[in-house]
Amino acid sequence: MVESSRILVIGATGHVGGQVAAQLLATGSAVRALVRNPGAAALPAQVEIAPGDLSAPDTLRAALDGVDAVYLTWPMLSAEVAKAVIGVIAERGRRIVLLSSAAVDDALDEQDNPVGRAHAVIEQPILDSGLEWTFLRPHGFATNTLEWAPQIRTGNVVRGAYGKATMPLLHEADIAAVAVEALTTDGHAGARYELTGSAALSRIDQVEAIGAALGRPLRWEEIDPESAVDEMRWLTPEIARFVLGGLAALTETPGEPTATVREVTGAPARSYQQWAIDHRSDFA
């Protein structure tokens, strides 16, 4: 444990960062959150709010005062901004835990997909910085399936592409638990942790698990991939096609669980069924 550590959480209003902040408080760490819009941030009262924005790297300086370690969610900004952000963090911080992505392929000099590229852009300046770093490289998040919430709130049918795609989705609390270990204990410097949930489930079975959590049966309805691109409006078409390409591949070869969550935290990764129960209210 870093003695009386103060940790800056960047992305504390998000799914994983919110869990990181909550779990850090439980370890007795002092938590500061870099927040773009302090008025709208619903964070625990013990979290110190520091206004700032990654797209304006100078705004991080005050937030980093007295900070030992930084948890960073990267919102896919440019390489130039990434370099400047890490430059400012390296002036004051010591340790950084980055929420990266399993889409980064270390075997490639140039990443071959938009998600890998967006995260390599922030990994590289960290590698060059002299900071003590840990990269979290998760596969798919269970929170991705919140995309079905509007359909489930208003009916019993979920329309989507590649219902047979099978993957071990991750509970955000498990990603956060790995982050908290890496932020607060030694032995994680230079680690690239490839994270997954505990067991692979098809999208059809994920919908069924949400139905079980809600106590009413839900049904999957298959649609063609191009209609799905049109419906995935929260992603750019390029990223939506990359995501759908990944789902197509997962219909052929199911995603394999890794043991990393258990190895790092000592507890097995939570199941998707547990995630559905924890998020019942999001679908009700």
Ligand X SMILES: NC(=O)c1ccc[n+]([C@@H]2O[C@H](COP(=O)([O-])OP(=O)(O)OC[C@H]3O[C@@H](n4cnc5c(N)ncnc54)[C@H](OP(=O)(O)O)[C@@H]3O)[C@@H](O)[C@H]2O)c1
Q: Out of 2, 25, 30, 36, point to the residue binding ligand X (CB under 6 A).
A: 36
Name the residue number minimizing CB distance to ligand X: 14
- Cβ 78 to ligand X, closest distance in Å? 11
Least gap, CB of 53 to ligand X (angstroms): 4
* CA 54 remoteness from chain centre: 17
| Interacting positions 59-78 with ligand X (CB under 6 A) | 73-75
Contact pick of 140, 168, 255, 257 for ligand X (by CB under 6 A)? 140
Size of the site for ligand X (CB under 6 A): 24
Does 37 contact ligand X by CB under 6 A?
yes
147 binds ligand X, rule: CB under 6 A: no
**Residue whose CB is less far from ligand X, 217 or 245:** 245
Specify the DSSP class assigned to residue 170: B
Euclidean distance between CA atoms 179 and 135, whole angstroms: 9
Token pair for 59 = 């705004």
- Specify the residue, 16 or 31, whose C-beta has the smaller distance to ligand X: 16
**Per CB under 6 A, 53 contacts ligand X:** yes
Binding to ligand X (CB under 6 A): which residues in 167-206? none
Q: Is 162 in the site for ligand X (CB under 6 A)?
A: no
Q: How far apart are CA 272 and CA 281, in angstroms?
A: 15
Nearer to ligand X by Cβ, of 99 and 158: the residue is: 99
b/e burial code for range 229-251 (CB count within 10 A of at least 16 → b): beebeeeeeebbbbbbebbeebe
Q: Any contact of residue 141 with ligand X (CB under 6 A)? A: yes
How many other CB atoms are found less than 10 A from the CB of residue 119? 23
DSSP state letter for 186: S
Cα–Cα dist 7/78, whole Å:
25
Minimal distance in Å, beta carbon 88 to ligand X? 13
Three-state SS at 113: coil
Distance CA 284, CA 277 (A): 11
Is 145 a binding residue for ligand X by CB under 6 A? The answer is: no
User: Which range touches ligand X (CB under 6 A), out of 7-15, 83-91, 231-239, 250-258?
Assistant: 7-15
- For ligand X, which residue of 27, 129, 144, 265 counts as binding (CB under 6 A)? 144
Sole window of 31-39, 84-92, 149-157, 253-261 interacting with ligand X (rule: CB under 6 A): 31-39
Is residue 255 part of the contact set for ligand X (CB under 6 A)? no
Give the residue with the Cβ less far from ligand X, 134 or 143: 143
11 binds ligand X (CB under 6 A): yes
Residue 136 CA from chain centroid, whole number: 9
> Binding of ligand X at residue 126 (CB under 6 A)?
no
Binding site residues, ligand X, CB under 6 A? 10-17, 34, 36-37, 53-55, 73-75, 99, 101, 138, 140-141, 143-144
